Every structure is written in C-alpha cells, then in structure tokens.
Amino acid sequence: MLYSLARPLLFSLAPERAHEVTLSMLKSAHKLGAMRQTVAAKPVTCMGIEFPNPVGLAAGLDKNGAYIDALAGLGFGFIEIGTITPKPQEGNPKPRLFRIPQAKAIINRMGFNNDGVDQLVENVKASKFKGILGINIGKNASTPVEDAVSDYLICLEKVYNYASYITVNISSPNTKNLRSLQSGHALTELLETLKNRQLELAEEFQHYVPLVLKVAPDLEASDIDFIASQLLQFKIDGLIVTNTTLSREGVEGLPCGDEAGGLSGAPVFEKSTACLAAFAKKLKGQVPLIGVGGILSGEQAVAKQQAGASLVQIYSGMIYTGPTLIKDCVDAMT
C-alpha cells in the first residue's frame, strides 16, 4: 500500500533519479523498522545452497551492494548485487534509463556504472546480511573484449570469499562487444579459465562458491546448443536465463520504445521463458536454472518454474507492482 501511494511521485521523477530516491527511502525506512515484509518459508536447495525461498532480486538494482540490508527486509530468498567491474566507471551518458508504462517495460543502457569491486567488497563487509548473496561480475568498458578474461578474474578473486555464488555477466547489451563472449572460442576460454581459478580459490579458502553464467534472450538454437555444451564441459554450477533483450516487440510506436539499450519488463517474458525452456530441454536437469525476465505476477513466476527454473529473480516487474510481488511469487510457487 505504501508503494502504491509513493509510485505516482516516483514516476514523476526522471527514472534514474527515482531509482536513487527509492533506495534512499528504503534504507531510511529499514533503519526505522519499516518497509519490512514477511514471506512464507519455502526452502529450495540449489547449487548446494539452501535458499529460504525461491524468489531473488536480480542484479542491477543495487550495483554496489550499498542497500543489501534494506533490500533483505523485503523478504527476498536471495539477493544478487552488481554488475561490478574491476575499476570504477560512470557508465554511459545520461539519460540512459527509460520507463514505458503502457507496456510495463523499461529500457536501460546504463553501461555497468559502478564504484568498482573494492568498494563493493567494503559495502558487503559492512552489511549485517547473513542470507544468500550473489555477486554479479563484468568487465570495464575500457578493457578490450579480447582481454576480458583478466577483468573477470580480478573480480572473481576479490569477491570470492564474500559471495554465496558468483554470476558471470556476458549478456548485457550495453557494453560494446560484451555479448561476443557468449560464443565460440571466447566463451570456451572464459569458462575454462574461470572454472580453473574457482577450483583454486575453493582450495585456498576451503569453501566452494558456485559459478553461474548469465545469458541473453536473443540467442539462436545453435547458440543455445553451444552454450549448453560448454556449461556441461566445464561443470558450471548454474545458468541465469535471461538478461534484457534487444528486441522491441511489444513497445513498437510507444514513447521511448525506440531508445537504444536492453528492454526488460512485461514484453520480455515470452522470449525469456522460451529461452529458459530451450536450455532446460538441452541440459536435462544437469545444470540448475534461474529464471528471470518479465515476471509481474505469481502466475508468471510459476510459469518460469514450469519451464525449468529452480529459482526466479525479479526487478523490473517490482518497479510497476511494488514489493508485494515478492510475496505473491513466493506464495504461488511450489
């Protein structure tokens, strides 16, 4: 109810400003014991981790891990922060975030704006959160794509001891050539290198942290076949399906519908869920799947589950429905 009252005010602000104001308000409210939500306990074991419920926060909302405790109060079963890069970067020029309310959609071309991996680690260390924390890692825009592996290694090493799982983001459309890492030798090299380092870190810290890949919905059948084979070959622990789409289906002709960037929210649901089902068919339960993309109701969370997801994540849908979406999804899922 509080969110329904606040939404008209927030939607009167520029989207990126509204994002900042919302997080600041949430943090202040959390300190006062407000804006907390109790959800049903529905434990799910996935990647060797027991999640208190299957509904998580997707990466992107809290890029620097500065609001972990406040977000945890909303009842998420797990929280994913990032995407983080080795060095701080401002991201793409503003404006770079656009609402399309008529379609319950968002287009963003943020470009991995973040304060750098060292600041994220400090924020995580300062938080009181003891739940499941995913950390999403990427590469700096200034790093040539052929040298991307080095950026991912830096982040992997620095966050390893602070994450419940680590997500390798190679599917944002907003960093030049990043999606080229989803195919061919580039993907093989990346996964092989990160997997070897993960095993070394597990030995060093005497603690195994799962490694997860996040892919785009804009994949051909041959792409899905290849990625699935690589996941199995290198024993990657999980797959997040999907990131935002470059398609503009569902927002054609709408204000801001032709802005560059990744489209999220309601229009991506069908495309993302079809991609999820395709991976589920190929992987046959050998790699756990996390379904994300266009969830705006409990029924849609269930659809992701039926398509093969063990867990789901939400973000854009919550901008339109508010935090009650978390409870609705948990209640609906089995």
Pick out the residues of the known binding site for substrate.
63, 108-112, 169, 174, 243-244
**CA count, 13 A, side-chain hemisphere, 88:** 7
3-state DSSP call for residue 180?
helix
Binding residues for FMN: 59-63, 83, 136, 169, 214, 242, 265, 294, 315-316
Tell me how far apart the alpha carbons of residues 199 and 203 are, in angstroms, rounded to a whole number: 6
Catalytic residue among 171, 172, 272, 310: 172
Binding residues: 59-63, 83, 108-112, 136, 169, 174, 214, 242-244, 265, 294, 315-316
Q: Residue 303: what are its φ and ψ, rounded to 5°?
A: -60, -40
Tell me how far apart the alpha carbons of residues 81 and 59 are, in angstroms, rounded to a whole number: 5
**172 counts as catalytic:** yes
Handedness of CA 152, 155, 242, 143 (dihedral sign): negative
Could you tell me how far CA 58 lies from the centroid of its own chain? 3
Tell me how far apart the alpha carbons of residues 191 and 235 are, in angstroms, rounded to a whole number: 9
The two tokens of residue 211 are: 């490694």
Catalytic residue numbers, as ranges: 172
